[in-house]
Amino acid sequence: MRQRLVMGNWKMHGSLPENKALLDKVAAAAGGLNRAIAAVCVPYPYLAQAQSALAGSKAAWGGQNVSHYPKGAFTGEVSAGMLREFGCRYAIVGHSERRQLFGEDDATIALKAGAVLAEGMVPVICVGETLAERERGITEEVVGRQLNVVADRIGPEGLKASVLAYEPVWAIGTGKTATPDQAQAVHAYVRGVLAGRDKGIAATMPILYGGSVKAANAAELFGMQDVDGGLVGGASLVAEEFLAICRAAEG
Ligand code: 13P
């Protein structure tokens, strides 16, 4: 049975008091999960807070981005080693907001995944097409390219230690969710690309769906054969919503 994972991506949201209330509820509820892991990826300044609130619980935490450099004169960057010092298990790489708003390309994202792996953490590698790309019928081409550039760089050993997330850009923060069939079709394609490299990795790789996941649609999405959990934006900021999504991944 593949690992199930529900990961909150807080993006640039939060404050110390709001975070405390949310993290305490996640810590308490994570203990009740058996099949699914609950994790939160918080803004860098809140990593210490997440670490102290979640340490000793079954919940995990991580960064939303990472530098591809290990150290040096790179103003504003945060290294994978720094994330590890704060107990991170995960780091998101290649989120579409990084690709689109901050100009990150496939090659840089591949280096970031490698940097995360080099510190013994799990990169959550995001892929996904824009609406224009979907309408042009090139979803598979785009997603396949995004995945293959990273896979070529990190190799089978790296892939084995990674998590993938399919996030159609048109479904992020729009309230417009991919239908379970649309999500399943791309997840199956992604698993097929992995199988072309290594059947064992394809069989065990958790592939998360992201894009307007909420309590009301999570069970249906997670019921699809190749959907192994969710990468959750807006709904991860509301404890009851996020925890309901985590419970939906237990099914
Ligand atoms: P929303 O759940 O807010 O659509 O965001 C999805 C996302 O980008 C998670 O990384």
Domains and CATH numbers, the chain: 4-248 (3.20.20.70)
Mean pLDDT score across all residues of the chain: 97
Per-residue model confidence (pLDDT) at position 173:
87
Test site for ligand 1: of 7, 125, 166, 167, most ligand atoms within 8 A of the Cβ = 167
Q: Which residues contact 48 (CB under 8 A, 6 or more apart)?
A: 86
User: Mean pLDDT, to the nearest integer, of 56-73?
Assistant: 98
Q: What percent of the chain has pLDDT over 90?
A: 97
Q: How far is the C-alpha of 61 from the C-alpha of 240, rounded, in Å?
A: 18
User: Mean pLDDT, to the nearest integer, of 165-191?
Assistant: 95
Assess contact for 229 and 4: CB atoms under 8 A. Answer: yes
Residue 220 appears among annotated catalytic residues: no
Task: Give the residue, 104 or 176, on which the prediction is more confident.
Answer: 104
Closest CA to 6 of 220, 238, 210: 210
Per-residue model confidence (pLDDT) at position 193:
98
C-alpha of residue 173 to centroid of ligand 1, in Å = 6
pLDDT band at 81 (very low <50, low <70, confident <90, very high): very high
Per-residue model confidence (pLDDT) at position 213:
97
47 Cβ inside 6 Å of ligand 1: no
User: What pTM value is reported for the model?
Assistant: 0.98
Lowest-pLDDT range of 97-106, 118-127, 174-183, 217-226 = 174-183
Q: Any idea which residue has 């959990």 for tokens? A: 229
pLDDT band at 181 (very low <50, low <70, confident <90, very high): very high
Among candidate residues 104, 129, 133, 167, the one labeled active-site is 167
> Residue 175 above 90 pLDDT?
no
Q: What are phi and psi of 135, to 5 degrees?
A: -65, -30
Q: How far is the C-alpha of 162 from the C-alpha of 142, rounded, in Å?
A: 20
Per-residue model confidence (pLDDT) at position 148:
98
Assess contact for 243 and 214: CB atoms under 8 A. Answer: no
The residue type at 41: C
pLDDT band at 26 (very low <50, low <70, confident <90, very high): very high
Q: How far is the C-alpha of 242 from the C-alpha of 236, rounded, in Å?
A: 5
Helix, strand, coil in percent for the chain, rounding step 5: 50, 15, 35
- Provide the total of helices (H) and of strands (E) in the chain, helices listed first: 11, 8
User: Mean pLDDT, to the nearest integer, of 219-244?
Assistant: 98
Count CB neighbours of 57 within 10 A: 17
Q: From the CA of 95, give the closest atom in ligand 1.
A: 10
Q: In Å, how far are 68, 186, 228 from 182, measured between CA atoms?
A: 32, 7, 15
Q: Whose CA is nearest to atom 7 of ligand 1?
A: 233
Q: How far is the C-alpha of 123 from the C-alpha of 93, rounded, in Å?
A: 6
User: Mean pLDDT, to the nearest integer, of 157-186?
Assistant: 95
> Residue 251 above 90 pLDDT?
no
Q: Any idea which residue has 């992604």 for tokens? A: 190
Per-residue model confidence (pLDDT) at position 1:
81
Lowest-pLDDT range of 30-34, 93-97, 117-121, 171-175 = 171-175
